[in-house]
Each structure stands twice: as structure tokens, then as C-alpha cells.
């Protein structure tokens, strides 16, 4: 009996190491049983035997030997006269096993079967890849940069699978070269044209969480829990931690002796400033800690409206706001409260001043809001800063700032 060699098709299976042998056998069996149904109308009396090692396949046909003239189902039965032509020792009632010559199916059918097999293998590979990375979402992996494009980079894992890291998932200071090995977290698995696309990220909070887990054994062991992480990638991050063991200082454990544990993470994140704070259910204390490194003087809290007015010494206001407003933005995200910063002038000789809201008929509300974001809620607090400083710290144009300052100066000149 002729056999068809499927070495090439089986090689596809061997390359996909994660496809197990039973699955492989089932796919091959399904493909050739489809072939049998097309030719004979049924596959019930056929056995598909696969030798995966050699890449050989054969099909055995089973029929019951009956008396001549009593054949009711040609697929399941064979007459005695026809049976003894194959083997003279056969008797009625025995089962006849006969090999099917695969070339009888025709060249076109065989080619179609091989193509179908290759297609099924490709689908299995996709499913295996999607499942593998679907189970690893949130895990850190090492991958090699294969191609760098403007909007994304292509990476390869240790098995040669392709992974994607879009520009939005890269830290702004990241610069990658082909062949470089990088660490990232598996963010999600998308489907594009029915193929899995594995998305990696270095900007997600999960990446920082996993880096901390690697560096801090107490987090890995569950003695310290990360309650929440907020990030402005490459700029600043705030990590709220809590210890389940009173003997462990969670902040000290995360930072390490002389910053030994946190320094490696800061370097990995391109010098991103990381503030580690103690988590607390006390909202006022949490807001106070979240504004690190600034020290607040007092606070008015509106729990229902999730709003907090925070008062600080003039030299602490810029620390609370942070560069480009990053510090206060992250504090708002961490606490879930809208935080407004005000100067605390208590103890100073009170100088005549006017609330910016008083100028709402001359200055647009959104412009006033921009000044408030940087802690300037009065006329003097704006005038005390230079035009260059205001331009740097707000999103306002130079001309707009100049117009506002002229309006404010005019008010004091009238006085």
C-alpha cells in the first residue's frame, strides 16, 4: 500500500512545541476523515493511523465478511468471494482490514488535505500563542528588539514570537536599538485579522508593581501589599503601600538601605521619581502624604464632594504642584479627591490683596483656573511671579499672561 509522506506538515507541529501530541493526532485525523467522507460518504468504518515520528500516515478500512448476495451496506460489509481474493483464509463472520491507497483519492484531494492541515496547524499556533500570553498578562518578560519604527517597536521573545510595544507604552526617555534586550510587562492580547497581537508596556502601573515585587522580597511574600500606583511615566510615580506585619516598615522596606532597592527601579524607569508612602484609611492623612515632598499647613476637606483645599507655606506651594503640575495631578489620582492648593499667609503682615475671582468680568474663568492650578488664587500671588515663571508653569500664552498682569497691576495702582 502506498503511503503519503507528510514530513513537512508534521515539521510545522514540531516547531510549535506547545502543541501537544494528542491535539496533533486529532487534527490530522479530522483532516483525513473529512477526505474520507467526501469520497465514501462516511468515515465510520475507517481508521486513520499516524506515525508522528516518521511523518507517515495510513488509512485502514474495516468491513465484516458476509455471505455472497447478503451485502446490505457496501461500506461496512464485503462478500465472501471478494474477501478471499485478498486473503484465502478468511471466513464469513470475520472482520476484513484493508489498507486504502491514498493516491486513489486523487492528487488534487491530497493537496487540498495538506493545505487544510497546514491551515489548521497555523490556527492552533495562534490559539496557543494567545493562550500563553493571555495567561501572562501583568507579568514581566524579557524580549529582544527586532525592529524599531516610528509608532511602535517589534520584539521577539525567547521562542521567536513577535511582540509589539506601541510608542504610547514606551517611557518618553526610552531609546531602543536593534538586538537590545528590554524588560516590559504584558499588557493585553489583541486580535488583528484573526491573529493574536501581544502588546507590551513600560508605562503601565503594573510594570512598576512587578519591578517592586522583584526588588522587595516582602512584597513577593505578601507581607507588604501595594494598595495603589499612579504614574506619569518618566516623570514621577506615587506608590501607596501597607504592611500586614507591624514589625515591618513598608516604606523603608521598599526604598531599602540608602535607597538600594528603589535605585535600580528608578534607573529602569529612566530616572522617574518614585514617592513611596504609607497607605491609610484616614483621608486627610492620605492627602497629606500624597503631596510629598511638600509639607502642608492645614486642610479643608469636603468628603461628600471629594474635594480638598490645602494650605501651604509659600515656599511649599511649588513643591506641592510639581513640575508641569505632575505632583498634584498624581496626588488627585492616588486619593480620588480633587485637591486645590492655596498659599497660607498666616503670621505674615497682611498686605492688601484681591481674590482672582473678583476679576472674572475682565479675565476669563478658564484663565483664572490655570493660575489656581499652580497655587495662585490672588492678584498678588500672580504678580509675585515673573512672566517667564508663569509661562513655564501654566499652559497660558505669553500674551495672555501679560494682559492678565496689566489688569491686576491696574487694580493696585487705583488703590
Mean pLDDT of 183-192: 91
Q: Which of 79, 106, 131 is the last residue of a domain?
A: 131
CA gap 48, 32 in Å, rounded: 7
Beta carbons of 35 and 84 less than 8 angstroms apart: no
User: Are 151 and 105 members of one domain?
Assistant: no
Beta carbons of 163 and 156 less than 8 angstroms apart: yes
User: Are 50 and 162 members of one domain?
Assistant: no
For residue 401, with 0-12 CB atoms within 10 Å meaning exposed, 13-18 middle and 19 or more buried, which class applies? Answer: buried
Mean pLDDT of 289-309: 89
User: Are 29 and 123 members of one domain?
Assistant: yes
Beta carbons of 83 and 74 less than 8 angstroms apart: no
The fraction of the chain above a pLDDT of 90, given in percent, is 36
Q: Is the pLDDT of residue 57 over 80?
A: no
Cis geometry, peptide bond prior to residue 293 (ω within 30 degrees of 0) = yes
pLDDT tens by residue, 351-380: 567 778 888 888 888 888 888 777 787 888
CA gap 99, 1 in Å, rounded: 6
For residue 288, with 0-12 CB atoms within 10 Å meaning exposed, 13-18 middle and 19 or more buried, which class applies? Answer: buried
**What pLDDT, on a 0 to 100 scale, did the predictor assign at position 159?**
84
Residue 17 placed within a domain: yes
User: Are 360 and 293 members of one domain?
Assistant: no
Mean pLDDT of the chain: 83
User: Are 89 and 159 members of one domain?
Assistant: no
The candidate with the shortest Cα–Cα distance to 353, out of 321, 377, 318, 389, is 377
Cβ contacts of residue 14 below 8 Å, gap of 6+? none
- What residues does 166 pair with on adjacent strands? 152
User: Are 95 and 63 members of one domain?
Assistant: yes
Residue 264 placed within a domain: no
Distances (CA, A) of 340 to 264, 300, 376: 34, 10, 10
Cβ contacts of residue 379 below 8 Å, gap of 6+? 353, 354, 355, 356, 359, 408, 411, 412
User: Are 8 and 114 members of one domain?
Assistant: yes
For residues 29 and 405, which has the higher predicted lDDT (pLDDT)? Answer: 405
Length of the chain: 415
**Domain boundaries, position 183:** 142-203
Q: Which of 75, 108, 131 is the last residue of a domain?
A: 131
Domain harbouring 301, CATH code: 3.30.300.20
pLDDT tens by residue, 4-44: 445 455 555 545 545 666 667 777 778 778 878 887 777 78
pLDDT tens by residue, 146-155: 999 999 999 9
pLDDT tens by residue, 143-180: 999 999 999 999 999 888 899 999 999 999 999 999 99
**What pLDDT, on a 0 to 100 scale, did the predictor assign at position 8?**
52
Domain harbouring 57, CATH code: 3.30.1480.10
Cβ contacts of residue 315 below 8 Å, gap of 6+? none
The fraction of the chain above a pLDDT of 70, given in percent, is 90
**What pLDDT, on a 0 to 100 scale, did the predictor assign at position 52?**
58
Sign of dihedral through CA atoms 308, 314, 318, 320? negative
Q: How many CB atoms lie within 10 A of CB 303?
A: 10
User: Are 340 and 368 members of one domain?
Assistant: no
The candidate with the shortest Cα–Cα distance to 360, out of 352, 351, 369, is 369
Q: Which of 288, 311, 345 is the last residue of a domain?
A: 345
User: Are 318 and 291 members of one domain?
Assistant: yes
Beta carbons of 341 and 320 less than 8 angstroms apart: yes
Residue 184 placed within a domain: yes
Output the nine-digit C-alpha cell for 39. Answer: 469520497
The number of domains in the chain is 4
Residue 219 placed within a domain: no
User: Are 118 and 181 members of one domain?
Assistant: no
Beta carbons of 81 and 69 less than 8 angstroms apart: no
Domain harbouring 174, CATH code: 2.40.50.140
Beta carbons of 276 and 227 less than 8 angstroms apart: no
Output the nine-digit C-alpha cell for 6. Answer: 507528510
User: Are 14 and 103 members of one domain?
Assistant: yes
Residue 125 placed within a domain: yes
Distances (CA, A) of 38 to 9, 26, 218: 21, 18, 63
Residue 351 placed within a domain: no
Helices (H), 79-193: 80-86, 107-134
Residue 90 placed within a domain: yes
User: Are 9 and 121 members of one domain?
Assistant: yes
Residue 256 placed within a domain: no
Q: Is the pLDDT of residue 342 over 50?
A: yes
Amino acid at each position: 500500500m502506498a503511503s503519503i509522506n507528510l514530513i513537512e506538515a508534521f515539521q510545522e507541529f514540531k516547531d510549535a512545541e506547545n502543541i501537544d501530541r494528542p491535539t496533533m493526532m486529532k487534527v490530522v485525523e479530522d483532516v483525513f476523515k473529512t477526505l474520507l467522507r467526501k469520497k465514501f460518504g462516511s468515515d465510520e468504518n475507517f481508521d486513520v493511523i499516524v506515525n508522528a515520528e516518521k511523518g507517515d500516515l495510513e488509512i485502514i478500512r474495516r468491513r465484516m465478511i458476509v455471505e455472497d448476495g447478503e451485502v446490505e451496506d457496501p461500506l461496512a460489509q464485503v462478500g465472501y468471494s471478494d474477501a478471499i481474493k485478498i486473503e484465502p483464509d478468511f471466513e464469513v463472520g470475520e472482520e476484513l482490514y484493508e489498507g486504502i491507497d491514498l493516491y486513489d483519492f486523487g492528487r488534487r484531494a491530497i493537496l487540498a488535505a495538506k493545505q487544510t492541515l497546514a491551515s489548521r496547524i497555523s490556527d492552533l499556533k495562534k490559539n496557543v500563542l494567545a493562550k500563553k500570553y493571555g495567561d501572562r498578562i501583568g507579568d514581566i518578560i524579557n524580549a529582544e528588539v527586532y525592529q524599531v519604527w516610528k509608532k511602535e517597536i517589534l520584539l521577539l521573545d525567547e521562542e521567536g514570537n513577535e511582540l509589539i510595544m506601541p510608542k504610547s507604552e514606551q517611557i518618553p526617555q526610552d531609546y531602543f536599538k536593534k538586538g537590545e534586550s528590554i524588560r516590559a510587562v504584558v499588557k493585553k492580547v489583541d486580535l488583528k485579522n484573526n491573529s493574536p497581537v501581544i502588546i507590551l508596556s513600560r508605562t503601565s502601573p503594573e510594570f512598576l508593581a512587578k519591578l517592586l515585587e522583584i526588588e522587595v522580597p516582602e512584597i513577593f511574600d505578601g507581607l507588604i501589599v501595594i494598595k495603589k500606583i499612579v504614574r506619569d511615566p518618566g516623570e514621577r510615580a506615587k506608590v501607596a503601600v501597607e504592611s500586614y506585619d507591624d514589625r515591618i516598615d513598608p516604606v523603608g522596606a521598599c526604598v531599602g538601605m540608602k535607597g538600594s532597592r528603589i535605585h535600580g527601579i528608578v534607573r529602569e524607569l529612566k530616572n522617574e521619581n518614585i514617592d513611596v508612602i504609607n497607605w491609610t484609611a484616614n483621608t486627610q492623612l492620605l492627602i497629606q502624604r500624597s503631596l510629598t515632598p511638600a509639607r502642608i499647613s492645614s486642610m479643608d476637606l469636603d468628603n461628600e464632594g471629594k474635594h480638598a483645599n490645602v494650605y501651604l507655606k509659600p515656599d511649599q506651594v511649588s513643591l506641592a504642584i510639581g513640575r508641569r503640575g505632575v505632583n498634584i495631578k498624581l496626588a488627585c489620582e492616588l486619593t480620588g479627591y480633587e485637591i486645590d492648593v492655596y498659599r497660607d499667609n498666616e503670621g505674615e503682615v497682611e498686605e492688601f490683596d484681591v481674590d482672582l475671582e473678583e476679576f472674572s468680568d475682565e479675565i476669563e474663568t478658564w484663565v483664572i483656573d490655570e493660575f489656581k492650578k499652580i497655587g495662585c488664587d490672588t492678584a498678588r500671588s500672580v504678580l509675585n511671579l515673573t512672566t517667564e515663571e508663569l509661562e513655564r508653569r501654566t499652559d497660558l500664552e505669553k500674551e495672555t499672561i501679560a494682559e492678565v498682569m496689566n489688569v491686576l497691576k491696574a487694580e493696585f495702582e487705583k488703590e
